[in-house]
Amino acid sequence: MELYRERGFEQATVAEIAKRAGLTERTFFRYFADKREVLFWGAGELQDFMVNALASAPDSATPIEAVAAAIQGAAVMLDQRPIEYAQQRRFIIAANAELQERELIKLASLAAALADALRKRGVKEPTASLAAEAGIAVFKIAFEAWTSETNQRDFPELIRESFDELKAVTAGT
């Protein structure tokens, strides 16, 4: 992250990243397909966590409640990590159109995985996709608020507030 911030994402090379991390390039490529993946490391773990949390939601939970439980759990997990990393990551991605596209693809994959988990719970379409996409929108908006320089609140609190806002919007209030 420091190297991306110092030199810019485009100018930082895999050789420099590996050297800064105390690795060889060969070792770097055992963990990452390319330098973009450094910024998206852990996306699979996050997806697995959310899918498992959704699957563990009570049977009585509505689709959006199950999605909210999954996203709330992920927010608690992410809130345990240093916020500076998330802030730097967001800044680097925001400065690069290719990375923004990659971020959107990762979020779309996450929404698809949540929708699939809802379908496995017996939720029909389009409800499964709508609930999953709405949940990812909440996650994205709360994440941006959490990583803003002026934020003083924790990520789970912002997720709760954003889901409350979603409820108000859909209720027409």
- Tokens, residue 17: 């990243």
Residues in the chain: 173
| Percent residues over pLDDT 70 in the chain | 99
pLDDT tens, residue by residue, 83-108: 988 999 999 999 999 999 999 999 99
Under 8 Å between Cβ of 12 and 19:
no
The set of residues, in sequence order, having a beta carbon less than 8 Å from that of 2 and lying 6+ positions away, is 20
Q: Which CATH class is domain 1-38?
A: mainly alpha
Q: How far, in Å, CA of 58 to CA of 56, rounded?
A: 6
Q: How far, in Å, CA of 170 to CA of 135, rounded?
A: 13
Domain spans of the chain? 1-38, 39-171
Q: How far, in Å, CA of 99 to CA of 45, rounded?
A: 19
| Dihedral pair phi/psi, residue 81, rounded to 5° | -90, 160
**Which CATH superfamily groups domain 39-171?**
Tetracycline Repressor, domain 2 (1.10.357.10)
DSSP 17-61: HHHHHT--HHHHHHH-SSGGGGTTTTHHHHHHHHHHHHHTS-TT-
pLDDT tens, residue by residue, 22-65: 999 999 999 898 999 888 888 889 999 999 999 999 999 999 99
pLDDT of residue 82: 86
Q: How many helices (H) and strands (E) does the chain have?
A: 9, 0
